[in-house]
Amino acid sequence: MADAVEKFRQEQYKVLVGLAHPDTLRGLMSIAAVFARRHQGRIVAVSVVTVPEGTEPAEGAAHADPDVLAGAEEIVGTAADFCAELGLAAEPVVEFAHDVPSGIIDAAARHEPDMVLLGFSPPAAPDPATAEAPARITEQVATRMTSCTLGIVAFPEGRDSRPRLLLPVTESFDPEIVGDLTRIAALFAGAEVSFLVLLPSSLSNAETERRSRDMRARIEALDLGEIESLPLECRAATDCLFGAEVARMGGEEMRPAFLMRARL
């Protein structure tokens, strides 16, 4: 019986939500909850606690800052309570790692989610150092976990600021999932959505152009209303990433091909 339960848990649709700050919790969990309910799945709420280099992450509880650890346990506990109120299954996870990106990546590799949602609150004056985590996480998800949909939600400071959703997509993206995520984000937050298309770096210019045309057509077919093309250096491409250079998003194997934005 125990083996059957574990197999069921593994095969369930899973949404992994990276949580670091209480201010972004409700917005992210609301979006994740819709998908979990629609697919009769579960939510994996993850908070990463960093430990010093030279320390084994498996022994992280013994080396982590007690206050940071308590905060991580509280935020994933709050996420689990949120799910319980909605009648959804949730797994609170405190992940120990040497840095936040590797912690999210390790958790995703272990739980094999169908979707990963990350949320950030970009400051008015972006600091390049704070861009490291989302840029590296995106790189790894785009190049190593192509079966997983990644959504990065930026919650700008200020009551009148609209949240922004960034979707890095490769040719393997699922139109149904991406379309649903876009509409649900807009429903909950009135978000504007940017699609950053990543294509293999090894392609010739001609092949890149051909595949770019195909990807544009697939995104336009999502029927999300008015969609506009933006230059890659446009600020809209970096707002979700705390000012990280868009060129870094693809890593060594992929490269940004173009950017499109929809306002729902």
Query: Which tens digit of pLDDT belongs to each residue from 197-241?
Result: 989 989 999 999 999 999 999 999 988 878 888 887 766 656 656
Beta-carbon contacts of 153 under 8 Å, excluding residues fewer than 6 positions away, are: 24, 27, 28, 31, 117, 118, 119, 120, 163, 164, 165, 166, 185, 189, 191, 240
List, for residues 151-189, the tens digit of each pLDDT value: 888 776 654 566 778 888 889 888 888 888 888 877 765
| Helix pair angle (66-86, 22-38), 10° resolution | 40
> Which pTM value belongs to this model?
0.85
Listed by start position, the domains of the chain span: 13-263
Q: Give 94 or 58, the one with higher predicted confidence.
A: 94
The whole-number pLDDT of residue 235 equals 64
The whole-number pLDDT of residue 137 equals 73
Provide φ and ψ at 54, rounded to 5°: 90, -5
Second CATH level (architecture) for the domain 13-263: 3-Layer(aba) Sandwich (3.40)
Task: Mark residue 6 as left, alpha or beta (left: phi above 0; alpha: psi -120 to 50; beta: remaining).
Answer: alpha
Answer whether residue 30 shows pLDDT above 60: yes
Q: Give 261 or 88, the one with higher predicted confidence.
A: 88
238 vs 196, 200, 218, CA distance in Å? 10, 21, 23
Look up tokens 């799945």; give the residue: 41
Return the structure tokens found at 141.
């998800």
Outline where the chain has alpha helix (H).
2-11, 22-38, 60-63, 66-86, 100-111, 132-144, 175-189, 205-220
| 71-85, 133-147, 232-246 — most confident range | 71-85
The whole-number pLDDT of residue 5 equals 40
Return the structure tokens found at 162.
């609209």
Mean pLDDT of the chain: 82
Mean pLDDT score, 50-61: 86
Beta-carbon contacts of 96 under 8 Å, excluding residues fewer than 6 positions away, are: 48, 49, 50, 51, 57, 58, 59, 60, 61, 64, 103
